[in-house]
Chain A
Amino acid sequence: MKLLAAGSNSHQQLNGSDDDVRSFEVFTPESESESGPGNLDIGLLYASWSTTTILNATQLINLGHRPWSTKSPPTTRSPFGDHNGLVGYLDNEGRIWCLHAEPRNPSARRPPLTLLNDDPDAPKIGYFALANNGKVALSFEQAPNGRLAHVVEFASLDAFKRWYLDPSDPAKAPEAHHMLPGQPVQLLANAATFLLLMAGGEVYSWGDPRYRTLGRSIVGEEAAPANKPGLINALGGMKVSKIAYGGWLCAALCDQALYIWGATLPSKDNEIKVLTELGPDELELVDVPSVGVESVDFIDVSVGDNHIAAVTANGRLFVIGDNTYGQLGIGEQVFSDDWVEVPWVESALRVQCGPQSTFVWVNAD
């Protein structure tokens, strides 16, 4: 497998030059590890506005703004952070690990990573998400046959930390507590909303209702208000296998069909027109030109702050949205209103987007 990358290189988070990467190139970070260039099984843990944090067999490496590296942790899940880089993640026992923050400069985060709360009775967390507006949502670890998910919210990461260190203090309690039927498998945050996927394929959304990001109506007697999780009925009856989130954009993969909704950044002039035409309970089914007669099957999708990337069953990579920093990998054009296939990317297996970058794993053969 090879890992290719394109997009913003503002802090040299993709390569050592001063230029953005406008067509996909092999991502070969120089690292201090003993593993030579031959060992390339790189997992991308977290891509932020200024950093790329990668995981390989032996090391956890932060490239870009304030580089560092450390021994790779045994397990990681739900990485979270902000525009200054990774802040923390969960391990498989539901415990939170955070990067050490310098007291006089909290945005400078470096290893070692430490357990936020080493008390064995600390709450065990299933999934964790941090939105750009500072809000935190998390789901508690659930027994394998558990049928009710508990999801709580905090106004800020600090408010979450205060509770996590002392959950019995009622003054530190979460600002919201939702109980939903099902078993969460994914909990994501973008600019100001949360999206929750259950094992049974149902999707809930809640948060800031501007820009159509909730994918559901908030008006009327049947509708859940914006600040409470509500089912996205337009995905009802379909088994959603993966959700993806970024900026104000959303995507859901179900049975190899791809749906998108929300809005591109309102601060920019360009927009994906079909999204602006969607009503509050409507989603857009993605259709791309196919080779031959069969319709295209999608196997993966990821969403940046202002662009979306998707991989098809036959290994093609399609992109749409903003390309100001080269994140679509299609050259000089600054925006693509329509889906476009990325030339020269073949045998794509998986895709992951940073806010202004795209990473794609391809079969090396």
Chain B
Amino acid sequence: MSVQDCVRVAKRQRITDTTSQQPVLDAGTQSIWAVLANELQAVLNDWDPEDSIRLCGDAPLALLSSRPLQVMALAKERVNTWEYRRVPRCWLRLFEDASLAHVISLLNIRDDGNKWVDEVVKVIDNAIIMTGASCRSALFTKTLLQLEHVVEADASPEWHEAFVIVSPASLETGNFISSCGPPTLTSFQAHIDEHTTPLLIHRAIEHWPAMKSWLRPSYLLKRSLGGRRLVPVEIGETYTHSEWRQQLMTLREYMKEFVLSRSSHGIGYMGQHDLFRQIPALKDDISVPDYCFTSPPNHRPATLQGQPPVAELDEPSLNAWLGPKGTKSPLHHDPYHNIFCQVVGYKYVRLYPPVDSRSMYAHGIDEKGINMANTSAVDVKFLRSDKGTIFVVNSEDAPLFCAREDFQEAILAPGDSLYIPAGWWHYFESLTTSFSVSFWWN
């Protein structure tokens, strides 16, 4: 009996069983987990001769089934030994397969209640986030899909029906970003060829299902296996501050602790995370703007000269940005062109053209050897006053910056898309709970 057959039997049983309110799976269908575990184990015992995992050597491979956690620990330690992009593939493969081995042991044990589900999701997500799951993603997806049937019986939390959004007063400024209704593809291409300047596009994403569904926390929970999927959260004011740290937590925990309430641990931001690769179903709620398929011009702005060249992206790179009021992305620039789409809530943005780099006081190389030349040391925050829209925290250290008048700013509202050319400095601050999607391309 295959896994699919077992699942079909379970579904039929559920439809006919209208009397009980017990959890979806009963004793008869426990075997679907054993079937899945065996299927996963068969794959694990059978490595391709060309599989880079063999380069790890015998000692870890011999231990995979008996002590998967110890092998995971070795792999994780080795992954940390190099800069991520230099890590030999064999270690990522080892972490991936050791995670799979651990999932198999969890499926075989399955403690009372549904706690084992939390653990399986956590192990799978850790593997996906750390390694990209280049080899086993189909098996992980299959396991997660099978788990959806178990979590349908989760009790829903006592949360708001929708995120509470209070629209802020509109921005009064002499430095507005030029804006328009959705341009055609040809006029957009003409714009970036001739001007390569920021453009605020209204209503281009109005038709996205996300505009309605992402307003509801319960919908996001449903899409993430009852909120069990792990997401990386940045805790602390901004990444330039010393107490800043990154932590993985479940989406449920993130929304409960940091989005729907004020956390005692400080501000938490799920930013720059490819949620769509992790949860492909969310991709159905959005669509990649056509503008991302235009060809950007060849000239490199001053900010990107002297920076290491970046690979050409085969397809646009997506990132999700979800957080409470007050999350900030400090002033920095990226080597990619960006269409930043505002789905839920309001976000303040300020842009500076890629000229006069001295006035931006970029960081150098820090004590950990990390090059932060694309980030400004100027600390700003949104604050309306008669002097303008922002407050510069360390203004005495940044006189040239404070004197600059060539910035552009706006408050992005739901349905807005902002084109940011590569190399332009940008600062974002959420004015309400906010959920956005960015598309990078080159």
Contacts and interface: CB of A to CB of B under 8 A. Distances in A.
A106 B90 CA distance: 14
Contacts of A324: 73
Contacts of A59: none
B14 interface: no
B367 A191 contact: no
A209 B77 CA distance: 16
A219 B59 contact: no
A266 interface: yes
B59 A84 contact: yes
B281 interface: no
A208 B369 contact: yes
B58 A108 contact: yes
Contacts of B57: 82-84, 106-107
Interface string A211-250: 1000001110000001000000000000000000001000
B58 A265 contact: no
B369 A226 contact: yes
A83 B60 contact: yes
B368 interface: yes
B63 interface: yes
B369 A209 contact: yes
B260 interface: no
Given A105-B58, A107-B57, A133 B81 contact: yes
B67 interface: yes
Question: Among A82, A133, A268, which residue has the most Cβ atoms of chain B within 10 A?
Answer: A133
Given A265-B77, A265-B80, A266-B80, A218 B59 contact: no
Contact of B59 (A107, A192, A210): A107
Nearest to A325: B70
Nearest to A107: B57
A85 interface: yes
Contacts of B364: 219
Contact of B369 (A107, A132, A191, A210): A210
Contact of B73 (A11, A85, A211, A267): A267
Contacts of A218: 367, 369
Interface in B174-232: none
Interface in B346-382: 364-369
B268 to A, nearest CB: 18
B62 interface: yes
Which size class do B's interface residues fall under?
A: 20 to 34
A192 B82 contact: yes
Nearest to A248: B80
Interface string A1-43: 0000000101100000000000000000000000000000000
A123 B167 CA distance: 74
Interface in B45-70: 56-60, 62-63, 67, 70
A202 interface: no
Interface in A249-284: 265-268, 280
Contact of A49 (B74, B80, B365): B74
Dominant secondary structure of chain A at its interface with chain B = loop
Which size class do A's interface residues fall under?
A: 35 or more
B77 A305 contact: yes
Given A10-B63, A226-B369, A66 B81 contact: no
A7 B115 CA distance: 30
B70 A217 contact: no
B19 to A, nearest CB: 46
A65 interface: yes
A177 B348 CA distance: 52
A267 B76 contact: yes
Nearest to A280: B367
Given A10-B67, A218-B369, A85 B59 contact: yes
A36 to B, nearest CB: 30
A9 to B, nearest CB: 10
Nearest to A265: B77
A192 B78 CA distance: 10
Given A133-B82, A217-B367, A219-B365, A11 B59 contact: yes
Contacts of A84: 57-59
Interface in A95-153: 105-108, 132-133
A10 B365 CA distance: 41
B70 A10 contact: yes
Contact of A83 (B74, B80, B366, B369): B74
Given A49-B74, A265-B77, A325-B70, A11 B62 contact: yes
Nearest to B88: A134
Contact of A209 (B56, B82, B367): B367
Nearest to A210: B368
A217 B369 CA distance: 11
B80 A267 contact: yes
Nearest to B59: A50
Contacts of B366: 219
Interface string B305-316: 000000000000
B35 to A, nearest CB: 29
B59 A83 contact: yes
11 contacts: A11-B59, A49-B74, A65-B58, A83-B60, A192-B81, A209-B367, A218-B367, A219-B364, A219-B367, A265-B77, A265-B80
In the A-B complex, the 3 residue pairs with the smallest Cβ-Cβ separation, listed nearest first, are A107-B57, A50-B59, A84-B57
